[in-house]
Every structure is written in structure tokens, then in C-alpha cells.
């Protein structure tokens, strides 16, 4: 019979063994589970059954084709261009430089795949609207040749939608855009903490990588397994933490001033400007889309009323057909506008940005008034910087929960 001491030692060893197994061996790849046959086909032949770490090491920076910049260009066109962000000099601290380089790489990949994914569903919505227009044209024109041509165009539009959904599953645009953004923001927050010899806890990384897991388990087990696919992010970041150079020197007033300046301007101020710019751009874009949808709807109402009047008065058949075709085109356009607003979540993200900017402003004021000549000033600064890091990661978790559900679907 084991003593209490032996039982406690056994439990401690088991807990340590479990912790080290999660920390040191790389996580096994877990297959994606999709809801549609198109997603299952794409996952089965590509990213869904690949090891994310292997894919990460094979990533290379590429020039984004104009085809995948259409969503960004559209938002800029209707919401206004963002202000040019000032590029600060490369940090001289080797620890900060270490994390900055890793953030820059992950951020570049995240931007690339986000642009591809959002442009893909933007094209999908446009092709869906075009298929409705071609369907209306095929019923409005005379002649078997024209009817067949427009029906063929309608079929081509639908096939391109199928291709986009398949490519998203095969190449993992949606999944990679979220996972690489998680990795980039972990590196960004660690960059602010590292000069003070603070770090992000492993538990925080695990929770962030699987932030949607518990919510998903309430719906279905396969969805939860999909979220486990992000465990490689926490593993890779922990490996980077172990390989990072250690802070050196004394945390005297001059070094703390440099650390505070870096946090205030490279981290907090940069994020404040970003959120204010996103708020203004997305608010204008959302308002523009609302106006476009309202104008299209009013035109549809007017045209339908005019069509009804002509039908009651036995008006010209050709004119009635033209009105019917115009109504179908405007209806398809309105549906596309609603789809863009729904997928982009412009209103929600603009509200999230203005709230986040306000919280960062308060954090900036708290850090700015810390007296760096007092005892344990590094601890006071570290606590406030850690609070900023926690705030940014919570904001990222909300963004992740929102866009996890924005998978491309053909329907």
C-alpha cells in the first residue's frame, strides 16, 4: 500500500511527464473535418492531412498576384485608403530583434493568406451574382444559340465557385490566415515583454491556439478536432522561446526608459493607429455598402411597380422583359452587397477597433506615468506591459472566434 508521500510523488511525476510530452515532442498532425463534400475533397488532397509544421518550414515569401488583392482594393475604394504606417528603425536589442524578425515573417504570411482567402470569397460572391444574371439573360433572350451561351456562362460561374472552395480546402488559405496571425501576434507581444525578462506563459499560448475549442465541443466532436490542429503554434512558439537569446545587463533607469519607449511607440502607439485607421475605413466601407444596397433596393421596388403597371396595361412585351432583366441584375447586386458585408463583418470589427483603441490609450497613460527611478520599477513596468499583452491577445482571441466560422462554402 502506497504512502501519501509516494502517491504525491507519483502524481507529480505523471504531471511533469505529461507537460514535457506536450512541450518537447512536436504535435501530431490532426486531420481537418469539413461539413461539405467540397471541403472534404480539398482537405483530403492537401492541407487537411498535412503536418502544419512541415508546411510552415516550406513557406516562402511570394509576390501576391492582383487576383488575390481584389478584396483589399475594394475596401480601400469604398472606405478610403489607410494612412501609410511609419517604419521605425530595426531594434538594436538582440532579444527584441530576435522576436521582431519572427513576427515580421509570420505577419507577412498571415497578410498573404488573409488576402487570398478574403479575395476568394469575394470572387465567389461576385460569381454567384453573375450566375443569377446569366440565368436571367438565358430566359430573356430569343434564339437557342444565345440561350445556350448564357446557360453555359452560368455553368462556368458555378464551376469557378466550386474551384475556389476546393482550392481553399486544398491550400488552406482560411486556416493558414488564422494560424499565422496567431503566431505573429504571439511574437509581437513577446517582443514587448522580452526586454524586461518577462514572457508569455505556455498555458496562455495553448489557450490561444485552441481558443474556439470548448465552444466547438458543444456542437460536434469533429469540429473540436479541427481546432486541435492549431496546437503546433504553441509548440513552435515555445521552441522559439527556448532558443531566444537571454536578456543581459542591468535593468537600470536608462534601460527601462528604452524599454518603455519601445513599448509605447513600437507596440502600443502602432496598435492604436492601426485600430483608429481600421475603425474609420471599415465604418466608411460599411456605410457605403449600406447605401448601395438601399439604392439598389429602391430601384428594384420602382422597377417592379413599373413592370406591374405595364403588365396591367398590356404594355410592350420587350420592355417588360427588359424591366424583368434589370430587376434580376439589381437583385443579384444587392445579394452580393449583403454577402460582402456579412463576410467582412465591417460593423463588428469597427466597433471592436474603437473599443480596443480606447483601452490601449488608457494603458499608454498608465505606462507613461510610471516612475522608473524607484525601487522595483522594472516590475511595475513589466506588470503593465503584461496587461497590454493580455489585452491584445484577448482581442485576437475574439477576432479568431469570429473568423473561425467564416469558411468558404459553395452554397
Q: For 159-172, write each residue's pLDDT tens digit.
A: 999 899 888 888 88
**Average pLDDT of the segment spanning 379-401:** 89
In this prediction, residue 92 carries a pLDDT of 76
**Average pLDDT of the segment spanning 356-372:** 93
In this prediction, residue 227 carries a pLDDT of 42
- Determine contact, residues 367/386, Cβ cutoff 8 Å: no
- Determine contact, residues 336/128, Cβ cutoff 8 Å: yes
- pLDDT tier, 211 (very low <50, low <70, confident <90, very high otherwise): very low
CB atoms within 10 A of CB 102: 21
C-alpha–C-alpha distance, residues 94 and 134, integer Å = 59
Closest by Cα among 116, 107, 224 to 168: 116
- Determine contact, residues 289/340, Cβ cutoff 8 Å: yes
**Average pLDDT of the segment spanning 235-255:** 87
**Average pLDDT of the segment spanning 83-95:** 69
In this prediction, residue 351 carries a pLDDT of 92
Taking 60 as the threshold, does the pLDDT of residue 1 lie above it?
Answer: no
Residue 97: partners with Cβ closer than 8 Å, 6 or more residues away = 90, 91
Taking 60 as the threshold, does the pLDDT of residue 299 lie above it?
Answer: yes
Q: Mean of the per-residue pLDDT values for the chain? A: 82
C-alpha distance across the termini of the chain, in Å: 63
In this prediction, residue 207 carries a pLDDT of 61
Q: For 140-161, write each residue's pLDDT tens digit.
A: 778 888 889 989 999 999 999 9
In this prediction, residue 180 carries a pLDDT of 94
- Determine contact, residues 154/135, Cβ cutoff 8 Å: yes
- Determine contact, residues 293/338, Cβ cutoff 8 Å: yes
At 85, list the grid cell.
504606417
Q: For 32-67, write each residue's pLDDT tens digit.
A: 555 666 666 666 666 656 677 888 888 888 888 899
Taking 80 as the threshold, does the pLDDT of residue 240 lie above it?
Answer: yes
Taking 70 as the threshold, does the pLDDT of residue 316 lie above it?
Answer: yes
In this prediction, residue 218 carries a pLDDT of 35
Cα dihedral: 63, 65, 68, 74 (round 10): 100
Q: Model pTM?
A: 0.83
In this prediction, residue 226 carries a pLDDT of 41
Amino acid at each position: 500500500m502506497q504512502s501519501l508521500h509516494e502517491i504525491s510523488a507519483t502524481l507529480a511525476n505523471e504531471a511533469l511527464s505529461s507537460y514535457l510530452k506536450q512541450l518537447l515532442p512536436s504535435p501530431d498532425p490532426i486531420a481537418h473535418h469539413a461539413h461539405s463534400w467540397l471541403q472534404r475533397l480539398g482537405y483530403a488532397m492537401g492541407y487537411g492531412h498535412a503536418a502544419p509544421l512541415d508546411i510552415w518550414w516550406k513557406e516562402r515569401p511570394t509576390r501576391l498576384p492582383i487576383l488575390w488583392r481584389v478584396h483589399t482594393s475594394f475596401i480601400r475604394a469604398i472606405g478610403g485608403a489607410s494612412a501609410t504606417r511609419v517604419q521605425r528603425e530595426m531594434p538594436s536589442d538582440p532579444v527584441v530583434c530576435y522576436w521582431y524578425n519572427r513576427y515580421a515573417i509570420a505577419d507577412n504570411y498571415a497578410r498573404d493568406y488573409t488576402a487570398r482567402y478574403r479575395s476568394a470569397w469575394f470572387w465567389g460572391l461576385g460569381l454567384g451574382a453573375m450566375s443569377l444574371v446569366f440565368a436571367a439573360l438565358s430566359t430573356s433572350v430569343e434564339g437557342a444559340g444565345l440561350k445556350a451561351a448564357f446557360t453555359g456562362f452560368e455553368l462556368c460561374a458555378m464551376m469557378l465557385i466550386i474551384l475556389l472552395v476546393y482550392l481553399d480546402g486544398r491550400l488552406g488559405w482560411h486556416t493558414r490566415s488564422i494560424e499565422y496571425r496567431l503566431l505573429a501576434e504571439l511574437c509581437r507581444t513577446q517582443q514587448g515583454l522580452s526586454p524586461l525578462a518577462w514572457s508569455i506563459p505556455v498555458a496562455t499560448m495553448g489557450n490561444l491556439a485552441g481558443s474556439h475549442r470548448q465552444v466547438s465541443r458543444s456542437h460536434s466532436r469533429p469540429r473540436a478536432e479541427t481546432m486541435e490542429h492549431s496546437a503546433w503554434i504553441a509548440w513552435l512558439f515555445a521552441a522559439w522561446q527556448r532558443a531566444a537569446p537571454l536578456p543581459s545587463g542591468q535593468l537600470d533607469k536608462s534601460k527601462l526608459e528604452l524599454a518603455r519607449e519601445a513599448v509605447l511607440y513600437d507596440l502600443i502607439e502602432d496598435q492604436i493607429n492601426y485600430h483608429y485607421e481600421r475603425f474609420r475605413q471599415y465604418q466608411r466601407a460599411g456605410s457605403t455598402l449600406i447605401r448601395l444596397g438601399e439604392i439598389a433596393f429602391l430601384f428594384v421596388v420602382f422597377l417592379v411597380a413599373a413592370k406591374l403597371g405595364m403588365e396591367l396595361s398590356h404594355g410592350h412585351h420587350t420592355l417588360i422583359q427588359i424591366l424583368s432583366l434589370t430587376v434580376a441584375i439589381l437583385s443579384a447586386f444587392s445579394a452580393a452587397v449583403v454577402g460582402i458585408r456579412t463576410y467582412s463583418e465591417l460593423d463588428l470589427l469597427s466597433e471592436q477597433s474603437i473599443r480596443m483603441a480606447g483601452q490601449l490609450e488608457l494603458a499608454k497613460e498608465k505606462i507613461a506615468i510610471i516612475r522608473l527611478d524607484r525601487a522595483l520599477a522594472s516590475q511595475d513596468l513589466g506588470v503593465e506591459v503584461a496587461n497590454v499583452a493580455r489585452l491584445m491577445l484577448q482581442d485576437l482571441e475574439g477576432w479568431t472566434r469570429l473568423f473561425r466560422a467564416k469558411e468558404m462554402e459553395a452554397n
